[in-house]
Amino acid sequence: MTSEVVEDEGEFYSKAEKYWKDVPATVDGMLGGYGHISTIDINSSRKFLQRFLREGPNRTGTSRALDCGAGIGRITKRLLLPLFKTVDMVDVTEDFLTKAKSYLGEEGRRVRNYYCCGLQDFSPEPNSYDVIWIQWVIGHLTDNHLSDFLRRCRAGLRPNGIVVIKDNMAQEGVIMDDVDSSVCRELAVVRRLIRSAGLQLLAEERQENFPDEIYHVYTFAMR
């Protein structure tokens, strides 16, 4: 439970905002010095996502996606824009979204909206997205705010749309990182928060071929 490790909610959010303001607007900056894992990450994510875009009458559409905690647009550029007609991006750091406009290049013209906002205050447009992608950012939300945000994401889905979370998982409990003001939750806690938002888990997968020294990373699809 984040209530056990987050003493001051306001400080928890403001410290994180301050941390990211000082991070370089580069792929390496987005990945905390692990820029070399980006291709492995994207390739696994594409394979995971495509199973929902290809299957039968209930397959997920490819009109519009939302990239949450988008940073400079690493995932938008390499995963979402190649698969979706349009993408929206949301991130709390304005400098990252400014950088994204040059980083995304010509394809960036298909990014319709750049929202500068913390996810605790963001509401996806209802009934608008085929895929809402949330990667390496849920640790910046308290349990209550994460559950509420996922509930708003559920309302933002089009028919057969999915919400995807990809993030670090702790071995046990909830671990606080004072450097970037984030938490890392164990799998059971994340599954419980998904259920509390009224979402059904469709698939769950552990990321392979990441460095041994980092947290295990899991991807969840839900609707």
Known binding-site residues for S-adenosyl-L-methionine equal: 69, 74, 91-93, 119-120, 135
Q: How many other C-beta atoms can be found within 10 angstroms of the C-beta atom of residue 203?
A: 13
Residue 88 contacts residue 119 (beta carbons within 8 Å): no
Residue 205 contacts residue 187 (beta carbons within 8 Å): no
CA-to-CA distance for 64 and 157, rounded, in angstroms? 10
Determine the residue type at 28: D
Q: What angle do CA 172, 176, 180 make, to 5 degrees?
A: 135
Closest C-alpha among 124, 154, 126, 131 to residue 85: 131
Task: Provide the 8-state DSSP code for 78.
Answer: I
φ and ψ of 89, to 5 deg = -125, 140
| Binding positions | 69, 74, 91-93, 119-120, 135
